[in-house]
Structure 1
Amino acid sequence: MLLQQTRTFPRLRLASPKTPKSAFSCSLRHSGYDDTIPNLKVGAHTRVIFQGFTGKLATANAKESMDWGTNVVGGVKPNGSGEHLGKPVLPSVRAAMEQLKPDATGIYVAAHQATAAIEEAIEAEVPLIVAVAEHIPLHDIMRIHSMLHSQSKSRLVGANAPGIISAIGRCRIGFQPLATFSPGHIGIIAKSGTLSYETVGSLTRAGLGQSLCIGMGGDVIAGTNFVDALKIFEHDEETEAIILVGELGGTNEEEAADWIADYRKRVKDPKPIAAAIGGFEASPGKVMGHAGAWTGLGEGTAESKFKALENAGVTMVDHPARFGAVMKDILSQSGRSVKKIEQSAASAQRRSYHTSRASRRPTADNTIFCSFWQKRLLHLSTEHNSKLLKLYNINVTAPPQNPPCSHYLGISPARAARKPSIIAAPTTVPDQLHRRVRRFPFDYREGPTTQVINDAIAHLQLDAAPPKAKAQTVELIKNLWTLYKDKEAIDAHVSLALSSSHDRLQIYNPHLFFDDAAFKSNKRQADLHGLRDQSSITRRSAEAEQNGIVYIPLGAPDRPGKNLVGTLVNGAGLAMNTNDVVNKRLSPSTHCANFLDTGGKATAATIKLGFRLILADPRVSVVFVNIFGGLTLCDMIAEGIVMAFREVGVDKPVVVRLRGTNEELGRKVVADANLPIHAYDDFEEAVKKVGELAGRGK
């Protein structure tokens, strides 16, 4: 299992202890990749191509984006030619660059094709590459970043992200729900798609609108992160204020907090910044829907991220529905005229309506973007881990009795550096381990250099060990890296101790995790997938996974005395945030019984299954359905709720909050069914009703 979370974590260090904190950034300072940050500033000028242009998915998205005003100039179909949607079709990205001169490409292909498509775009030097597909294997992404960090022409947004959109410039490269957006002056960077739509909706209702919205995505390693976006927003004249939406996992939020603290010191009139963080109630050792939503060794919790941003002067909210009112307040406090910003946003909206065609109703075809499978970590049994290590000349022993000293060593992603790394600590004592662990990043294609290995050994405090033991450590690192790369591991860690004679290493307590996406997207690592440890998966969780749902019970299953709330939510970020708000705002005896993410491809059938999973838990006293319809259609969700009442048998109070695409139709479906459902469009009212019903214990 993943190492269990504690309530606070130190920030992860990527260099020597003498390196000043200000030297850290989410992109390495010496990398030419930083030079591509300005490519993020998309707008009316941006010439866009589609890779996979003639496919069903790209066709539907291109039509919708073109109707909205996006300057789509053509697309690519391997070895193809001719026209599509009245635009030229070219046989390769390089040909498209030469003839169409695009500023950006949207990659609209399945995950197993996405890696090659991204690499082709990098080789053709497309300035901005937007990859929306889920489940691109982590090792493919690390190899892609090895390419990106060796050049200064192309910038990547994604993967596993809704994309990037300029509401002012009517430029959309992604699958964002267009009806939610309005031109304005607030910049947004978000890990979660659904929480970004919540944020956008709140700003639109408040009359502030949005300037540029960047979907960072929820993968372990992101092509563009918070600091990259902040650098754009700092100098963007159309952006008056900034919003960050983060969640547990990695250190990007702490990196952003460091940048913001410095920004507020060096700039006379800094732009107001607000933020929300999801994952306070995340289950320790679990992947909370998003591939990157888990706390690694030495990484911060949602709580520590929240505090870091708050200490940097960021205004924090507990739910994005509050951003509209909060942004007006902090804009006013900063001396900016909210009235002028609203008037400017309204004027921009009128201009955009005159210069673009009406946006069509989102089609169900767009749900193809949201993968059927939720990405999971692949766990093996202890026995299988030991056998696998032995194949790579790593012999595991039983833990030694009272060793005088112990060491922690492995290979793990360095998320901020966007590289693999040696992870090392001169102790295995849990409280000290989190404090003393460090990562030593290296290039994916080159592997760990002699210098990186020596630095890691020095931090392990084994550089003065006998030559034989030191040589064994070097060999162990190399063997771990070979296993890590061959088997597409996410983490490959072991504990070490010197033998009583100090001339050899004892290796014990292996922790190995593998990327399930390598098999599910690309059919690689089938042998490992067949060894998956099924004993750690509950029957309900397994059934949910088979149907594209992530279901995680929370709390002790034998604690029926609590008035627990069963939650059913579309989107991992929104599901985490819903759990956080319910647990924070309601009475101490009211908690969430589960995390349930239907995924972006929520249908009537998955909603019915969600009800069945939730109601199978005897601790549940009320069901809370919280949906923000982006690509998910609220009327379809409502039909699933009605189906659940008729076919599952719902004997608990149900509160439904529907907001977003087709919300009025959804509420009509619920009303016409004449069922005992408490329906709302306002999140605050819905949560209040949940608390009232849970308090009755019914």
Structure 2
Amino acid sequence: MLRQLLRGGAPPHPPRSRAFRISARRGGLAYEDTIGNLKIGRDTRVIFQGFTGMSVRSMVFSYTLAGSSTFAYVYVYVDINTVSAKATSNAKESLAWGTNIVGGVTPGKNTEHLGLPVLPSVREAMQKLKPHATGIYVAAHQAPAAIEEAIEAEVPLIVAVAEHIPVHDLLRIHSMLHTQSKSRLVGANSPGIISAVGRCRIGFQPLPCFMPGRVGIVAKSGTLSYEAVASTTRAGLGQSLCIGMGGDVLAGTRFVDALNIFEHDDDTEGIVLIGEIGGDAEMEAADWIKEYRKRSSNPKPISAVIGGVNVAPGRVMGHAGAFTLPGEPDALAKVKRLQDAGVTIVNHPAKFGEAMKTLLGGSGRASSGAATTGASQRRGMHMTRRVRPAVRSQVSNFASQKRNLHIRENLAFDLLRERGINASEYSGKGRKRILAVGIDRANMSPCIIASPATNDQDPHVEAKKFPFDYIKGFEPSQIPVIAEHLQLGGTAKESLAKLINSLVGLYMQKEAFLLETHFVERLGDLKVVGAHFGFDDAAFRSTKRQGDIHALRRVEDEDAQEIEAEKDGIVYIKLAGDGNIGTLVNGAGLAMNTVDALADAGGKAANFLDTGGKATSETVKKSFQVILQDERVKVIFVNIFGGLTLGDMIANGVLLAFKELEMRLPVVVRIRGTNEAEGQKIIAESGLPLQAFDDFEEAAAKAIELADR
């Protein structure tokens, strides 16, 4: 299929509630000039959008002063779709930690909340409160308008934590962002940004894990970043600035942006990068690192982990952007590029602490230390260099690429015929070429993807992307260049224009993320002989847009267990092969890494399962039910990092499931993070055939031993 390509995919023009007015480039400035806005600290003035309303991802907390000045926090993760906590809780906690929150915005209100002013618009808040940053705490369907309002008001830093923002809304937002030089976006689908040194949190990160220190962290995955934070805290290093790139298809801040900040940040002495499948931001980062190491006489050491080495081909692995499109690098290619740039790779984030201690010592940067509060928490763990198979190229399968809603080919043909396009099955005659509309993740825009041959006909021919602005639309002036790349005859240009316009129109109107066709040229006309169409289900799930397209879903084409898990908000993917370890994990990044790390230790995971940050006793039970339907499974490995999820709650969920389901399989439970000691104690004293660990390698070794009996 496409050999070089798609960096993402999707756009329509959903109706907007208000006009958007934004000035063009000022004095030649661009979005890249806003990177410095990421440097937050004690003096950063923060407002909350949705200050008094419902939060997208929020935490209810309580604390006690058990004979000391140490707070014991309790976090409850609230599901995005069933929000039941207020952003107020997050604001209280952030204020107590030291964040300089100066007020908030709630439409229609001009009052006071938590002793701080509440204003009816971001523009008025900018005038009166003069914030440097805004945290957007509204649901996914409200987030686009909130982000746009912040851009219009020229807030320097905009942090969007919501998942499931429709892809086309984000494409429109990125088109706006790249016409200005005042506002920088972090997110979406991000835990946010936090300065441990400056005590400034804009997001929902678990504060007990953090300690002021020396390591800068940038991550796609929230759960893996929390593991990295906990590890560097246990190692006594602490953190300087942690930036959540987020797991969305379109990230407002990429790895290179964070690296530019870390390079010049005096508080940052070492850098951790956490990547995963999807896009090429890690490759871009590796190229930057290689140049950085050339120009710096004493470069800051960098360590990384990449999730998704053992993913299910063509599947979305939990995060909206965690899927590899044809031509994009796979996880192994990313690892190799980073290693070639001098980055130290670990296979699990729990190893970052010891890895960074070694690297900082070797770099001569070991003189300054973090606060000693983390030293007493240190646990034995060692870094191992991952033994990896040779880098493999990403194999594309036209029929198996899957993200959100993919419709049957005959239904895709129907959509094309409705637009006057000749479409039917391939007769075996004629040279097949590729024409698609998708997302260019690097340019944050839609693009035309064209290849003069399909991969099965000529694997050496590469596809080429032709990006276009989401708001301005496709420029017809590009058609001759595309025709030349496709090696089409002169008489076929008119038919090519018709096909491109039809695909772009369908893409925009129906909120597709990928419309891929194979076509042949016959007597100066073009005939589509293959179609692979994917549409963004967030538009339907969040706002009920595109109901006609989503009515084309055929659940009989999908795995019954996966559909069952989906009803409970669980992402479950059955992995091919002879895997015999069932995995149950909270967080997409951690779930991918769990499958990878088990493989490194000699084990074979039977599935990928992400309960999401909302893991509860009930979702744990539901997850067990799904896993137990796989007859290959000989042991269940529960890997929970209690950042936003309580360790004792998960332990009780495991006990509940074990008893109610009358389980006969052994269960290995690794609980770390919030309330880990309580959770481990509950497991240990249960009297059931359960085994609890806090060290990943020990837990993985036990799970593999039990699976192989």
TM-score (norm 2): 0.87
**Using a 3 Å threshold, how does the CA distance of structure 1 residues 431 and 304 change in structure 2: closer, same or farther?**
farther
Match of 1:679 in 2: 692
Task: Provide the C-alpha distance between the structure 2 equivalents of 1:214 and 1:514, rounded to a whole number of angstroms.
Answer: 30
Q: Of 580, 587, 592, which aligns to 1:571? A: 587
Unaligned runs of 5+ in 2: 9-27, 55-85, 377-401
Match of 1:420 in 2: 446
- Could you say which structure has the higher helix fraction? 1
Q: Of 626, 636, 648, which aligns to 1:635? A: 648
Following superposition, the deviation at residue 430 of structure 1 comes to: 3.7
1:532-681 alignment runs, 5 A limit? 532-556=553-577, 562=578, 564-586=580-602, 590-681=603-694
Q: Of 505, 509, 524, which aligns to 1:482? A: 505
* 1:191-211 deviation digits (Å, cap 9, x = unpaired): 000000010010000000010
Q: Of 466, 470, 480, which aligns to 2:493? A: 470
Task: Provide the C-alpha distance between the structure 2 equivalents of 1:197 and 1:139, rounded to a whole number of angstroms.
Answer: 30
Match of 1:389 in 2: 416
1:218-257 alignment runs, 5 A limit? 218-257=247-286
Please give the secondary structure, in 2, of the residue aligned with 1:238. coil
Please give the secondary structure, in 1, of the residue aligned with 2:170. helix
Task: Provide the C-alpha distance between the structure 1 equivalents of 2:256 and 2:477, rounded to a whole number of angstroms.
Answer: 28
Greater shift after overlay, 683-692 or 433-442? 433-442
* 1:556-583 deviation digits (Å, cap 9, x = unpaired): 4xxxxx4610000000000000000111
1:483-502 alignment runs, 5 A limit? 483-499=506-522, 501=523
* 1:468-509 deviation digits (Å, cap 9, x = unpaired): x1111012111111100000001001112111x3x1112120
Task: Provide the C-alpha distance between the structure 2 equivalents of 1:186 and 1:388, rounded to a whole number of angstroms.
Answer: 52
Please give the secondary structure, in 2, of the residue aligned with 1:388. helix
Match of 2:347 in 1: 318
Please give the secondary structure, in 2, of the residue aligned with 1:455. helix
Task: Provide the C-alpha distance between the structure 2 equivalents of 1:389 and 1:286, rounded to a whole number of angstroms.
Answer: 25
- Match status 1:516 vs 2:537: yes
Match of 1:66 in 2: 95
Please give the secondary structure, in 2, of the residue aligned with 1:673. coil
Following superposition, the deviation at residue 345 of structure 1 comes to: 3.9
Please give the secondary structure, in 1, of the residue aligned with 2:580. strand
Aligned length: 634
Unaligned runs of 5+ in 1: 15-29, 351-374, 557-561
- Match status 1:194 vs 2:223: yes
Following superposition, the deviation at residue 683 of structure 1 comes to: 1.0
Contact 1:488 1:515 in 2 (8 A): yes
Following superposition, the deviation at residue 13 of structure 1 comes to: 9.7
Q: Aligned Cα RMSD in Å? A: 2.0
Task: Provide the C-alpha distance between the structure 1 equivalents of 2:537 and 2:585, rounded to a whole number of angstroms.
Answer: 23
Following superposition, the deviation at residue 454 of structure 1 comes to: 3.2
Contact 2:193 2:203 in 1 (8 A): yes
1:318-397 alignment runs, 5 A limit? 318-337=347-366, 340-342=367-369, 344-346=370-372, 377-397=404-424
Contact 2:422 2:526 in 1 (8 A): no
Q: Match of 2:485, as an amino acid?
A: H
Match of 1:103 in 2: 132
- Match status 1:176 vs 2:205: yes
Contact 2:468 2:474 in 1 (8 A): yes
- Match status 1:459 vs 2:485: yes
Q: Match of 2:704, as an amino acid?
A: G
Q: Match of 1:46, as an amino acid?
A: T
Task: Provide the C-alpha distance between the structure 2 equivalents of 1:434 and 1:37, rounded to a whole number of angstroms.
Answer: 38
Following superposition, the deviation at residue 530 of structure 1 comes to: 1.5
Q: Match of 1:48, as an amino acid?
A: V
Q: Match of 1:456, as an amino acid?
A: I
Task: Provide the C-alpha distance between the structure 2 equivalents of 1:311 and 1:12, rounded to a whole number of angstroms.
Answer: 24
Q: Match of 1:184, as an amino acid?
A: G
Following superposition, the deviation at residue 336 of structure 1 comes to: 1.8
Contact 1:200 1:209 in 2 (8 A): yes
Following superposition, the deviation at residue 433 of structure 1 comes to: 5.3
- Following TM superposition, where does structure 1 have runs of at least 4 consecutive aligned residues deviating by more than 4 angstroms? 9-14, 347-350, 431-435
**Using a 3 Å threshold, how does the CA distance of structure 1 residues 662 and 688 change in structure 2: closer, same or farther?**
same
Task: Provide the C-alpha distance between the structure 1 equivalents of 2:286 and 2:165, rounded to a whole number of angstroms.
Answer: 29
* 1:628-653 deviation digits (Å, cap 9, x = unpaired): 01111111111110011111121111
Contact 2:452 2:485 in 1 (8 A): yes
Q: Of 28, 39, 42, which aligns to 2:40? A: 42
Task: Provide the C-alpha distance between the structure 1 equivalents of 2:7 and 2:293, rounded to a whole number of angstroms.
Answer: 23
* 1:425-459 deviation digits (Å, cap 9, x = unpaired): 11113484585012111110011113433333222
Task: Provide the C-alpha distance between the structure 2 equivalents of 1:382 and 1:616, rounded to a whole number of angstroms.
Answer: 30
Match of 2:433 in 1: 407
Contact 2:248 2:321 in 1 (8 A): yes
Contact 1:130 1:158 in 2 (8 A): yes
Following superposition, the deviation at residue 671 of structure 1 comes to: 2.6
Please give the secondary structure, in 1, of the residue aligned with 2:315. coil
Following superposition, the deviation at residue 529 of structure 1 comes to: 1.4
Contact 1:634 1:665 in 2 (8 A): yes
* 1:529-548 deviation digits (Å, cap 9, x = unpaired): 11112123211111100100
Match of 1:355 in 2: none
Task: Provide the C-alpha distance between the structure 2 equivalents of 1:87 and 1:458, rounded to a whole number of angstroms.
Answer: 61
**Using a 3 Å threshold, how does the CA distance of structure 1 residues 601 and 13 change in structure 2: closer, same or farther?**
closer
Q: Match of 1:567, as an amino acid?
A: T
Greater shift after overlay, 686-695 or 416-425? 686-695
* 1:406-428 deviation digits (Å, cap 9, x = unpaired): 31111100011111111111111
Task: Provide the C-alpha distance between the structure 1 equivalents of 2:278 and 2:338, rounded to a whole number of angstroms.
Answer: 15
1:228-307 alignment runs, 5 A limit? 228-307=257-336
Task: Provide the C-alpha distance between the structure 1 equivalents of 2:7 and 2:51, rounded to a whole number of angstroms.
Answer: 42
Contact 2:287 2:341 in 1 (8 A): yes
Contact 2:263 2:300 in 1 (8 A): yes
Contact 1:182 1:349 in 2 (8 A): no
Please give the secondary structure, in 2, of the residue aligned with 1:287. coil
Q: Match of 1:106, as an amino acid?
A: G
Match of 1:145 in 2: 174
Contact 1:183 1:349 in 2 (8 A): no
Please give the secondary structure, in 2, of the residue aligned with 1:290. coil
Please give the secondary structure, in 1, of the residue aligned with 2:125. helix
Contact 1:419 1:441 in 2 (8 A): yes
Task: Provide the C-alpha distance between the structure 1 equivalents of 2:167 and 2:45, rounded to a whole number of angstroms.
Answer: 30
Greater shift after overlay, 159-168 or 674-683? 674-683
Q: Match of 1:420, as an amino acid?
A: P
Contact 2:187 2:253 in 1 (8 A): yes
Contact 1:408 1:495 in 2 (8 A): yes
**Using a 3 Å threshold, how does the CA distance of structure 1 residues 348 and 542 change in structure 2: closer, same or farther?**
closer
* 1:500-521 deviation digits (Å, cap 9, x = unpaired): x3x1112120110000000001
Q: Match of 1:409, as an amino acid?
A: L
* 1:569-618 deviation digits (Å, cap 9, x = unpaired): 000000000000111211xxx41110000011111011001111111111
Task: Provide the C-alpha distance between the structure 1 equivalents of 2:183 and 2:425, rounded to a whole number of angstroms.
Answer: 49
Following superposition, the deviation at residue 320 of structure 1 comes to: 0.5
Task: Provide the C-alpha distance between the structure 2 equivalents of 1:679 and 1:619, rounded to a whole number of angstroms.
Answer: 23
Please give the secondary structure, in 1, of the residue aligned with 2:239. coil
Task: Provide the C-alpha distance between the structure 1 equivalents of 2:374 and 2:611, rounded to a whole number of angstroms.
Answer: 36
Following superposition, the deviation at residue 12 of structure 1 comes to: 7.6
Task: Provide the C-alpha distance between the structure 2 equivalents of 1:270 and 1:133, rounded to a whole number of angstroms.
Answer: 35
Task: Provide the C-alpha distance between the structure 2 equivalents of 1:649 and 1:448, rounded to a whole number of angstroms.
Answer: 59
Following superposition, the deviation at residue 238 of structure 1 comes to: 0.6
Contact 2:683 2:691 in 1 (8 A): no
Match of 2:391 in 1: none
TM-score (norm 1): 0.88
Match of 1:366 in 2: none
